[in-house]
Structure formats: C-alpha cells, structure tokens
Structure 1
Amino acid sequence: MRRGVASQRRPGSSPSSSSSSSPFLSSSPALSSNSQPVHADGHIGPSSDPQMRTEFTSVPSPSVPPSSSMQHSNDEEDSQFMISSFGDSFTDATYVVRKLNKIINNCWMGQYSSWTTAPKEVKELWWNEFKRKFRWDEAEEKEVRRIFKKKAGDHMRNVMNRAKRSQEKPDFITADNWAKIKRTWDTEKHKQISEINKKNRASSSSKGSATYAGGSINIGEHRKRIVSLLNML
C-alpha cells in the first residue's frame, strides 16, 4: 500500500514542480546552482542533450607547436626563414634542401651537367636566390655556403645520373640544352674509351723492357742478379 500511495500525485502537480520543491534538492551541496551549469530554459544541472553535455565536459587540448608544413606554407613567409648549419646539412634539412633543389631547377639555363661545369655567374644566381629565401647568423656565412655548394652539387649529379640511365630529358632542361648535354656525354665516353686503349697499348709495348723487368721476375732471379753484380765489383 505504501508503494501505491507514493506513486500517486496531487491534482495539478507536475514532476518538475514537485522535484523543485523537494527539500533534498535545495539542501544538497552537489546540486547547488553554484556548482552546476544553468541552461537557457532555467534548468540547473547536467543537460540531457548529448551535444550540450559534450560542450560542458570537453577539455581544451594543449597547444602544439606548428609543423614544418604549416610554417612553410607561404613563399612570402619563407623569404627570411632562419636556418643554421648542422654537420653537412642544415636544420630543417628536408624543407631547406627541397627549396634549394627547386632553385637549381628553375635556373638551369645552360648545357652544364654538374656543379663544376656550371658558369660562375649561374652559381652566383643560385646563391643569391637562396639568400633571398633564407637567412642565418653572419658567423656561419662560410659554412652555410659550403653546405649550399655540396647540396647543389649532389642534386645536379643525381639529376644527371637519373637522366643518363633513363635517357629522358628532365622537364626543367630545354631541348636544345639537353641535346648539348648528351653530346657532352658522348664526348666524355669517347675520351674514357681512348684513355683505356692508350693505357692498354702502353702496357703491351712495355712488356720485356728493362724498365719494367723487376715486376715480371720472381725474387729468386733478383737474388741471382744481385750476386752477379757483387762478384763483378
């Protein structure tokens, strides 16, 4: 019977009004309005809406330093990007070397196939373009230039090696310059073959001569010759 009586409500009463008049609600510290959010409809306490509940319980994540891709997304910002030497490379090497290679490709305006064969004025153009995009401590000027030269040379060698193997023209080299580079390779190959043949001929003609006899006899023969020379003295 108690259960039946407890489940009955007075006429005109509602669940919200009965719960708001409960002495347990007003006296409980856990349900005090000072520690619970107040909603737009006047309701106090956690919201039944999952989306709103997430908004109250979510905690902001700590700030994370921007990655290199975020730092280098704009060429205007890159113009004075600070770098320093790091062994035979640079700090933030992947990004810096990628930019360096792009500078070489964009200004590859001749038939040169290596750093050595590139004209001095072209090398200065590459270096000045690199300085326009990056900056470094003045005390590191010499070391940064050394690394720049090494990385530029490595890139040019890799480009030419791939082109030689595939016999395909890189996109940034003109057809005219590509034809000249290929002729240079043919000339170099001819020179290498001629040099090998020259060495072979020299080796063949020198066999049996007094100048190179020491390399063609054994140690026993050397001893006999020394003894003969000593007896003659």
Structure 2
Amino acid sequence: MFLLGHSCWSYLFSRLTGRQVKVNLPAYMALLAGVFPDFDIYFKPLIQHHTYTHSLIILLPICAVLVIRFKGLGLAISAGILSHLVADSIVGTIPPLYPLSDFQLGISLGLPSPADTTFEVGALGIVLVLAYLNGDYKLVTESRRESLYLLIPMVSIVTLTLLFAGDNNVSLAAFAFSRKALTLITLGHAVLIGILGLGVFQGVRAIVDKRKQPGHASSPPSSGPPPPGSLC
C-alpha cells in the first residue's frame, strides 16, 4: 500500500483505539505511526525495504515496550504501527517471521489495483469525516501552534516517496498517471499533503501572531500631566 493509505488507516486505527482507552493521541502522531514501518527506506542499503520493519518478530516487541512505557498512548501508537502490516498483507504480503524465515503472509489483492485504490482513497474520505467529528479539522482551519507538528508526517510522506522512487529508478510523473487507479491515488496524496501543508501554515501563523502580541498589547505612554504626588 502507498503512504496515502498507510497514514490514513493509521489515523483511523490510532484515534479510535485512543478513544477506547481514553487518551487523546495528537493527529500528527496518529498519521505518522502507520508510516513508521517504511522508515527502512531512509536506511537503504543498510536495511532492505519490506524486511525487518515489516516483521512481527521485530514490531511486536517494540509495540510491547510502547504500551508498557506509555500505557494507553503507547497502545494507540501501536495500533497505528500494526495497521501498516494489516494493510500491506491485504494488497500484498509481509514477512511476519523475518529474519528467522522469508515466509510471506498476505492475500495479495494487488498494488496498484482497484481494491488498493478503494482502500486508500476510501480511507482518506473516512479520515476527513472523522477529523471533522473529533475536531482535528481545526488544526487546518484555525491558527494553532500545535498545527506545526503536522510538518512531521508531511515531510515523512514526501521524502519517503521521493527516496523510494529514486532507489527504484521510477519516474514519479510518469508513474503517477500511468493508470487510472494510480491517478486517483496520486490525487489523494496531493489532497493529503495540501491539507497538512495548510495545517503547517496555521502553525507558523500562530507562532508569528504570538510573537507580535507583546508589541500590540503595550499601550503608548500617556502625554498628559502626571498624577498628583508623582515624581516629575
């Protein structure tokens, strides 16, 4: 699955899990958790893509540590991380026992495929609805300092996409619109990045406005006569 689907399904799994355990996982962490297993792209060729970070032998202990250390917050993050493996096993396969075994597990609906496009674009639509219902949409529509954290998933999605394309000698412009299914996914990525970019703008705006406040709040000195009893 592409990063559009991974980030969106992660948001859904993480936020809904957080609701069940009564923790408010920030939107940027909910989006980022599902992208984490693809961070192996940053370390290529030291780590081959779709190996260690897509193995249950590796990820389950990491998730266990997160839950033990951060309780409900760790559980919500873990749900997002593991959603990556669920998604990949639906459209392709994962190596759940790597490095002990190269055994592949999955139903391989195809990537790209109509099924994958439905899962990815559909997830984006559900995310937009959920973000409206839980108030996360305000990170994009209002000037808030915490909106700046949306820069983290935005940069991750963009850089991982560029690195993956470069490592595999893929022309993104040609690949993105080579099939109808890919065109829809490409547009979905553009929408998501645009939304995150708008959120980052709101975060920067909030910081700039905050720095301007002291100057605007101070009142000019009075030019009238000093009050009785004051020193001249």
* TM-score of the pair, normalised by structure 1: 0.26
Relative to its length, the structure with more helix (as a share) is 2
Q: Name the larger-Rg structure.
A: 1
* TM-score of the pair, normalised by structure 2: 0.26
